[in-house]
Amino acid sequence: MKQDRILIIGAGGQIGAVLTESLRTAHGTDNVVATDLRDPGPQNGPTQVLDALDMQALGEAVQHWGINQIYHLAAILSATGEKDPMRAWDINMRSLFNVLEVGRQAGLAKIYFPSSIAVFGREAAHYQTPQHEVLIPETVYGISKVAGENWANYYFRRYGLDVRSLRYPGIIGYQSMPGGGTTDYAVDIYHYAVKKQHFECFLGPETSLPMLYMPDAIRATLGLMEAPADRLTVRTSYNLAGMSFTPAEIAASIQQQAPGFTISYKPDFRQAIADSWPASIDDSAARHDWGWKPEYDLDAMTKDMLLHLEQQYRS
């Protein structure tokens, strides 16, 4: 069987930094090329500075490295996107078109493109939001993800390009920092707890959102990409769930292990974004089609986050 050769776009981001290492473990270090707009820093494998808006450079990189799969992670996230909607639309859509077109022209075997819970809006069921639900997002980020999902589906149906996608919830991990989303508070809070600092949360205490711990997010991504194509019934993007919690609940989980930790609340513009998103997600299609099952709940994640961050801040 031919060895996969993978190009990651946005490898320096919150998810890309961790996914790159996992893909290198799974496929061999030299078979995974980490690219980003900015220098991804010291790496133990091939890297390239690459602007995903430059289609010619992307096509040349695919040829140069002998690539047969792209993981396209570059995007402007929900909160940053609202500060300059036209820029967010341009970057999110143009980069995706370039990836899909290069994928089609080069005959790539598979493409991965993450979507988000941001595709849902207030019209969608708030609890256990189903896979096939009305999609009226209120952020430019969400609009770009709905459009992206439909283009992924189009390239699959029209050209047979094997594009796969997950609607990630908020992703939480200790290895990297988040890049401008509405769920970022759930990473920041652990850093404040370990540094023994008071945390002021930009969402209110009762705002429940779907979240996923990084190891589960990576397992889900690899699981979807390894699944036999004929098992996949969703070619827009799969709902994916891990846990749901409010800022008050994550604070209580931290306080069990760090009793002195304190939190206060000062909601800003991100509150309205969070209020437009589901509180929990029905991911039964992913469970049925390719065997998805999360491993971490809130307390298990808290224990692991605090353990690793304490080690990081000590060293």
Give the per-residue contact string, 122-161, with ligand SER (x = CB under 6 A; - = no).
-------------------x--------------------
CA distance 183 to 192: 15
What is residue 308's DSSP assignment?
H
Report the 10 Å Cβ neighbour count for 285: 18
In which residue are the tokens 């808006």 written? 53
Helix (H, G, I), strand (E, B) or coil at 28: coil
141 is annotated as an active-site residue: yes
Cα angle, residue 120 at apex, residues 115 and 125 outer, rounded to 5°: 135
CB of 308 to ligand NAD, least distance (A): 17
Q: Which is nearer to ligand NAD, 16 or 247 (CB)?
A: 16
CA distance 62 to 24: 17
Q: Which is nearer to ligand SER, 58 or 298 (CB)?
A: 298
- Determine if 10 is a binding residue for ligand NAD (CB under 6 A): yes
Give the per-residue contact string, 94-123, with ligand SER (x = CB under 6 A; - = no).
----------------------xxx-----
Q: What tokens does 70 get? A: 């792209």
Helix (H, G, I), strand (E, B) or coil at 243: strand
Considering only CA atoms, give the Rg of the chain.
Answer: 19
**Contact indicator for 210, 274 with CB cutoff of 8 Å:** no
* Residue 15 interacts with, from ligand NAD, ligand SER, none (CB under 5-8 Å by kind): ligand NAD
Q: Which of 141, 168, 185, 238 is catalytic?
A: 141
Q: Which is nearer to ligand NAD, 15 or 194 (CB)?
A: 15
Of the candidate spans 69-77, 151-159, 273-281, 293-301, the one that interacts with ligand NAD by CB under 6 A turns out to be 69-77
Q: Which residues pair with residue 35 across a beta bridge? A: 9, 48
Sites of contact with ligand SER (CB under 6 A): 77-78, 116-118, 141, 170, 181-183
The set of catalytic residues is 141
Sites of contact with ligand NAD (CB under 6 A): 9-10, 12-16, 36-38, 50-53, 73-75, 77, 91, 95, 114, 116, 168, 170-171, 178-181, 183
